[in-house]
């Protein structure tokens, strides 16, 4: 973890990449995973993430409502889901090299936390929350729209997000890779289980997904696997 001038330079570089000058201390909190805060003390980013999630959803909803006046609410909801999903947010995070700046505890660092989609997605939301607090609602909305604009231009993404398992199956069939296989495990008590699904294609683990049900986890994993394979064109 960088400190002092090196840290400030790194945060300044990240601010430049997202196009908004954010207070360094506030941005540092947005980048702090709870695992780091538990080991070192101080605040973590989950409150900012909570705020950013709401701002993200509202900004994307209004954008879609205005951009697609002929779509009904069901289609709009599906498109919104594809743009605010963990897969989409993690893709945004990787594009701005967010993983380089995360503050992680030792356990997360050792298990590849800098490239975990869930951590990256949560941190994007936390940064949106930080921009709202530090620069105001208009700047936060502008940031959201700037980040999701490239994704909105990708028509194939919407189709995959609406039925990710079918889209993945069609993609692997077109490339003669055989059928995707899913491995699902669950943790936690029966009333509050978390499921993790892995997608294997041609004997390669392509992606994982997390959800509160087996179906949700499989769909998340399928969408991420589709995104990974699409990038290998």
**What is the three-class DSSP state of 66?**
helix
**Residue 163, marked binder:** no
Task: For residue 47, give Cα distances in angstroms to 11, 39, 100.
Answer: 20, 18, 22
> Comparing C-alpha atoms, which of 160, 161, 197, 159 is closest to residue 181?
197
H helix or E strand, kind and range, residue 204 = strand 204-211
Find the catalytic residue in 53, 108, 218, 224.
53
Bridge partners of 103, per DSSP, are 32
Separation between Cα atoms, residue 83 and residue 96, nearest integer Å: 16
Find the catalytic residue in 108, 125, 218, 224.
125
214 exposed, middle or buried (CB, 10 Å; 0-12, 13-18, 19+)?
middle
Chain-centre distance for alpha carbon 83: 9
Active-site residue flag, 39: no
Transcribe 72-139 into DSSP letters: -HHHHHHHHHHHHSHHHHHHHHHHTTGGGG-B--HHHHHTTGGG-HHHHHHHHHHHHHHHHHHH-HHH
**Residue 100, marked binder:** no
Active-site residue flag, 6: no
**Residue 49, marked binder:** yes
Q: Which residues are annotated as a binding site?
A: 49, 122, 125
Q: Which residues are annotated as a binding site for Mg(2+)?
A: 49, 122, 125
Residues classed as catalytic = 53, 125
């Amino acid at each position: 973890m960088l400190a002092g001038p090196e840290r400030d330079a790194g945060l300044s570089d990240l601010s430049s990449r997202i196009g908004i000058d954010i207070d360094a201390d506030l941005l540092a909190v947005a980048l702090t995973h709870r695992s780091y805060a538990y080991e070192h003390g101080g605040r973590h980013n989950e409150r900012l993430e909570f705020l950013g999630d709401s701002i993200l959803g509202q900004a994307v909803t209004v954008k879609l409502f205005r951009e697609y006046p002929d779509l009904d609410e069901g289609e709009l909801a599906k498109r919104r889901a594809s743009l605010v999903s963990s897969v989409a947010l993690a893709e945004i995070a990787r594009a701005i090299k967010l993983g380089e700046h995360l503050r992680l505890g030792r356990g997360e660092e050792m298990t590849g936390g800098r490239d975990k989609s869930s951590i990256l997605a949560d941190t994007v939301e936390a940064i949106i929350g930080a921009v709202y607090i530090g620069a105001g609602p208009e700047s936060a909305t502008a940031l959201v729209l700037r980040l999701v604009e490239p994704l909105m231009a990708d028509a194939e993404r919407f189709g995959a997000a609406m039925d990710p398992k079918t889209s993945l199956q069609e993609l692997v069939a077109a490339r003669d890779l055989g059928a995707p296989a899913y491995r699902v495990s669950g943790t936690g008590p029966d009333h509050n289980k978390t499921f993790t699904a892995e997608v294997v294609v041609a004997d390669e683990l392509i992606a994982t997904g997390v959800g509160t049900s087996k179906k949700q986890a499989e769909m998340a994993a399928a969408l991420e696997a589709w995104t990974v394979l699409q990038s290998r064109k």
